[in-house]
């Protein structure tokens, strides 16, 4: 039996932080052997809010290098750039025309981001989830490993697939494959260091709110030293009453590879003065091998380009096949 397919992606905007790593990329690394895995750098999504053309290409390289540095293995996985496979844009158009406007207006992420953009909300920002649906559906993905914040976009993707299948397919020969979200139990929602009730995010204006994968030991140490805590004695996992404590313990659990029971036993009698240096050391140690590998890869542009060239070739084969299937189902005049 052939392996199930996985597809996921990250935008080349800003620095990757612990939320991106623990919520998404680390899980990709863990599951990649069991699936036929495709991971893209979603650079078309990156221009849905105003972007800097001077840094887009370099940021795209950076994310691809971080995928490799975090442990994405080309023996199991394909890494490619979304804009290199034109089928993504083309399928988006076709899906646009069957997606009701009010499905998009309901998206939480759109509403949140639109507020931040003020007068300057692009049609692309509203259309963002349809492009994401195209990403997923083009590869007939069975599973989509993402953080909790993407759940609604996955539901929309499924709704779009159902609609295409109902309108243009038959029960026996559906046009599109139905994907399932894959959301990790822990790390799916890493919270801000300065506010345990809001998620760690690239767009938070405060650098102190997040630890980036490429932060220096000094900077990691400073951020953890100043991060928000509470006045309760002893450290416990408690999402509702102690969001900061819960978040920091979860970070420690994930970065040290310990179980919840181990961390509970180790930290229940600790104070912050004892825990913070421990978390700092653990974070620095966990990120060091990723950082070393990242700088090595970024220094070898030729290698990185060869990875993305080969990735594009593999991705295009799968994507173009799906695109043809959809165009046929919609009744387009085929090429002749």
Catalog residues that contact ligand AMP under the rule CB under 6 A.
10-11, 19-20, 23-24, 146-147, 149-150, 188-190, 199-200, 202
Q: Considering the rule CB under 6 A, would residue 211 count as an interface residue with ligand TRP?
A: no
Of the residues 54, 172, 177, 199, only one is catalytic, namely 199
Binding mask 121-150 for ligand TRP (x = CB under 6 A): -----------x--xx-------x-x---x
Q: Binds 136, which of ligand AMP, ligand TRP, none (CB < 5 to 8 A, cut-off by type)?
A: ligand TRP
Q: How far is CA 163 from the centre of its chain?
A: 25
Count of residues in contact with ligand TRP, rule CB under 6 A: 13
End-to-end CA distance of the chain: 35
- Report yes or no: 39 and 72 within 8 Å, Cβ to Cβ: yes
* Residue 326: partners with Cβ closer than 8 Å, 6 or more residues away: 91, 94, 164, 168, 175, 176
Compute the least distance from the CB of residue 90 to ligand TRP, in Å: 16
Q: Binds 181, which of ligand AMP, ligand TRP, none (CB < 5 to 8 A, cut-off by type)?
A: none
Nearer to ligand AMP, 190 or 267 (CB): 190
* Residue 37: partners with Cβ closer than 8 Å, 6 or more residues away: 5, 6, 7, 28, 31, 72, 76, 77, 78
> Distances from the Cα of 221 to the Cαs of 140, 226, 234, 291, in angstroms?
43, 9, 22, 16
Q: Supply the DSSP string of 27-84, one letter for each residue.
A: HHHHHGGGSEEEEEE-TTGGGSS---TTTHHHHHHHHHHHHHHHT--TTTEEEEEGGG
Compute the least distance from the CB of residue 115 to ligand TRP, in Å: 17
Compute the least distance from the CB of residue 233 to ligand TRP, in Å: 37
Q: What's the alpha-carbon Rg for the chain, to the nearest Å? A: 21
Instruction: Tell me 148's DSSP state.
Output: G
Of the residues 54, 62, 111, 113, only one is catalytic, namely 113
Of the residues 151, 177, 202, 228, only one is catalytic, namely 202
Q: How far apart are CA 279 and CA 283, in angstroms?
A: 6
Nearer to ligand AMP, 19 or 311 (CB): 19
Angle at 36 between CA 35 and CA 41, to 5 degrees: 110
Compute the least distance from the CB of residue 135 to ligand TRP, in Å: 4
Compute the least distance from the CB of residue 11 to ligand AMP, in Å: 4
Q: Binds 135, which of ligand TRP, ligand AMP, none (CB < 5 to 8 A, cut-off by type)?
A: ligand TRP
111 is a catalytic site residue: no
258 is a catalytic site residue: no
- Report yes or no: 211 and 46 within 8 Å, Cβ to Cβ: no
Nearer to ligand TRP, 209 or 282 (CB): 209
Nearer to ligand TRP, 46 or 329 (CB): 46
Q: Considering the rule CB under 6 A, would residue 9 count as an interface residue with ligand TRP?
A: yes
Q: Helix 56-70 and helix 301-330: axis angle, to 10°?
A: 100
Q: Please give the residue whose beta carbon sits closest to ligand AMP in the complex.
A: 23
Compute the least distance from the CB of residue 10 to ligand AMP, in Å: 4
Q: What token pair was written down for 52?
A: 């800097």
Residues 45-74 interacting with ligand TRP (rule: CB under 6 A): 45
Q: Binds 196, which of ligand TRP, ligand AMP, none (CB < 5 to 8 A, cut-off by type)?
A: none
User: Which residues here bind ligand TRP, judged by CB under 6 A?
Assistant: 7-9, 11, 42, 45, 132, 135-136, 144, 146, 150, 153
Catalytic residue set: 113, 199, 202
């Amino acid at each position: 039996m052939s392996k199930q397919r996985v597809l996921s992606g990250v935008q080349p905007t800003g620095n990757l932080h612990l939320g991106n790593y623990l919520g998404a990329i680390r899980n990709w690394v863990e599951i990649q052997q069991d699936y036929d895995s495709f991971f893209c750098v979603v650079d078309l999504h990156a221009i849905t809010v105003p972007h800097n053309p001077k840094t887009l290409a370099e940021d795209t390289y950076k994310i691809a290098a971080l995928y490799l540095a975090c442990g994405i293995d080309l023996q199991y996985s394909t890494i490619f750039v979304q804009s290199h496979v034109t089928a993504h844009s083309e399928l988006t158009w076709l899906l646009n025309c069957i997606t009701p406007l009010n499905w998009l207006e309901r998206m939480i992420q759109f509403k949140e981001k639109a507020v931040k953009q003020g007068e300057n909300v692009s049609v692309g920002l509203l259309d963002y989830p349809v492009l994401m649906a195209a990403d997923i559906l083009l590869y007939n993905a069975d599973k989509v490993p993402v953080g909790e914040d993407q759940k609604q976009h996955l539901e929309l993707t499924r709704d779009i697939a159902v609609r295409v299948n109902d309108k243009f397919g038959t029960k026996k020969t559906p046009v599109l494959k139905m994907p399932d979200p894959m959301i990790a139990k822990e790390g799916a929602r890493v919270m801000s260091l300065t506010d345990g009730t809001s998620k760690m995010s690239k767009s938070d204006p405060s650098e102190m709110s997040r630890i980036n994968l490429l932060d220096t030991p000094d900077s990691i140490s400073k951020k953890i030293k100043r991060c928000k805590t509470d006045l309760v004695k002893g450290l416990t996992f408690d999402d509702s009453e102690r969001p900061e404590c819960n978040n920091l313990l979860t970070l420690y659990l994930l970065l040290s590879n310990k179980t919840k029971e181990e961390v509970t036993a180790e930290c229940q009698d600790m104070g912050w003065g004892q825990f913070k240096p421990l978390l700092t050391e653990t974070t620095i140690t966990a990120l060091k091998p990723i950082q070393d590998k990242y700088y090595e890869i970024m220094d070898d542009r030729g290698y990185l380009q060869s990875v993305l060239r080969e990735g594009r070739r593999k991705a295009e084969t799968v994507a173009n096949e799906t695109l043809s299937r959809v165009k046929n189902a919609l009744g387009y005049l085929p090429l002749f």
